[in-house]
Structure 1
Amino acid sequence: MSTTAISTARGAQPGVGQATHSAFVVHRNGSVATSEDLAALAFAGHAHFTAMQVRDGGVRGLDLHLARLRRASAEMFGRALGDDEVRAHLRTAIQAGPAEMSLVATVYSSDGEFTAASPGARLQMLVRTAPASAGPPGPLALSAVEHERYLPQLKHVGEVAKTHLLRQAVADGFDDAAFLDRQGRFSEASIWNLAFWDGSAVVWPRAEMLVGTTMGIVRRQLAGIGVAQRERIVTPADLQNLAGAVVMNSWTPGIAVRRIGATDMPEAPAFLRALHDAYGAEPRTAP
């Protein structure tokens, strides 16, 4: 596929939104963000976030997003915003935008970065919205590169390697990059989780990684539609024995992967359909 498609799907970054029901809205702690609010964040790199798609004011896997923010805040800051406060900030941003949108909620500390934590520092929440996205159509070709993220279990900012490796993959004729850890195990991709198909079950790679909210939704819904799941180590040598591969993130529960490194992956329409059916079985919840 053209790399233009994946770049377009990633979308332009939203700016400060003032108009009601604009696709682009930026709020800090529930109020429209000012340029002064955002100036201090222009180069900030010590924060964590969650990303979601909003449809008709609702979000799939809202409980997973809230749990992600709680866990990451506890690990990075030693405390977390309450769920009620987070939901209120999400609700304010959603009500200010259209019925369908992409939304990113970022939590950071007023301490900033490159400083020791202070006891009275307040946690802040930045919510920004953009047009809805379903991701690129695929199928995608992924390079296979060695890379391990710091704090891989957290969805945090300031990861220059992911963009660098994506761009290197595109320069080498791929659409994106899949990551191998130092033991040669597939973990995740630049902004995606990986999933494989062995012909009868969904295979989740076993490695240190971020467990995505879409991945969590799919995993808990697959059993309900009668699809088996397994977790095991997947290496480049294992790819030739697998019957399909996909990437997934907040945009989509599955985009087909046609090649990883030098290995062509088979088409697996039943696999893709099962992932989308599982995701569709998850109800939307309004914050």
Structure 2
Amino acid sequence: MAIHPHTYPSYINGHPATASQLNPLAFAGFAHFTAMQVRNARMKGLDLHLDRLRNASLEFFGRAPSDELLRSQIRMAMQEGASDQSLTVTVFSPHGEFTADSMDVEPAVLVRTAAPSDGPKGPLRLAAIEHQRPLAAIKHVGEVGKTYYLHQAIRQGFDDAAFVDERGCLSEATIWNLVFWDGDAVIWPRAEMLKGTMMGMVQRQLERLEVPQRREFITLERLRELSGAALMNSWTPGVPVTAIGSHAMDEASPFIELLHEAHEAEPAECP
């Protein structure tokens, strides 16, 4: 029997999660995850999410849940929940963190569902903060710095924070990928960062649309030469950015429209 569409259940290893199972995860965990949006019981970029989960599991645990297992658990959560929802898949050690017992174990899978989100419309202004995320290429839990620097940015009068690495180059933002526009080409930061699934979808669709793309070192000084900037994550392919630190930027509506066009071209599927 389907759960009421306004109820968003969670599952561990394919079974409804109990409070006693979830309570420890609220405070600790050696885990990584991926987040996605479901619309009309379909999702985009599932192959990218599965690749992310597989690669991070091999890095953390030396083994990974099969794609077939993950697909079945995602499919069950979608079928039992609302046709539009946010869905997060977390792969974690059942032995928690700060212990050798979490090494080389068969990881467990938590699938959480929640209300759908399209993210903010923007435009957003970003504080420029020196910070490098640990294990930046992996989407892992326990990153207190992202919330801390978000709060610091708000206290400075900004909406969110962009990170500047030790070379003085922009890498990513708190829960976002950064992307830039020079009027002709889409520019991705050349830096240690997480390659988002939305980023992967947009990149391959821009390639299909024959839109030029390249990776560059983007310093704050370089911003004055660019025509636009945006944020993207699993919520949205493009939120306009109108300031990074003291550097103001135009909203660049054609650029934002291009990013949304690329995402719209990505096919949706059932797991």
Could you give the per-residue CA deviations for residues 133-183 of structure 1, whole angstroms, max 9, x where no partner exists? 110110000000010011000000000000000011011100000001111
CA drift at 1:118: 5.8
TM-score, normalization by structure 1? 0.91
Distance 2:104 2:199 in 1: 36
CA drift at 1:34: 0.6
Distance 2:231 2:45 in 1: 18
Q: 2:90 is matched with which residue? A: 106
1:203 equivalent in alignment to 2:151: no
> 116, 123, 128: which one pairs with 2:112?
128
Q: 1:169 is matched with which residue? A: 153
Q: 2:258 is matched with which residue? A: 274
Q: 1:161 to 1:26 in 2, by over 3 A?
A: same
Aligned residue runs from structure 1 range 43-122, under 5 A = 43-117=27-101, 121-122=105-106
1:193 equivalent in alignment to 2:177: yes
List alignment gaps of at least 5 residues for structure 1.
Answer: 1-17
What SS does the corresponding residue of 1:95 show, helix, strand or coil?
helix
Q: 2:141 is matched with which residue? A: 157
C-alpha RMSD of the superposition: 1.3
1:36 equivalent in alignment to 2:14: no
Q: How many residues align?
A: 270
Could you give the per-residue CA deviations for residues 267-287 of structure 1, whole angstroms, max 9, x where no partner exists? 211111111111111101111
TM-score, normalization by structure 2? 0.97
Q: 1:126 to 1:109 in 2, by over 3 A?
A: same
Q: Percent identity?
A: 54
Distance 1:42 1:267 in 2: 38
What SS does the corresponding residue of 1:40 show, helix, strand or coil?
helix
Q: 1:255 is matched with which residue? A: 239
CA drift at 1:44: 1.4
Could you give the per-residue CA deviations for residues 107-148 of structure 1, whole angstroms, max 9, x where no partner exists? 001121111146773311111111111101100000000100
CA contact (8 A) 1:22 1:96 kept: no
Aligned residue runs from structure 1 range 234-253, under 5 A = 234-253=218-237
What SS does the corresponding residue of 1:59 show, helix, strand or coil?
strand
CA drift at 1:73: 0.4
Matched letter for residue 266 of structure 1? D
What SS does the corresponding residue of 1:216 show, helix, strand or coil?
helix
Distance 1:176 1:161 in 2: 13
- After superposing the two structures, state which structure 1 stretch, 33-42 or 110-119, moved more: 110-119
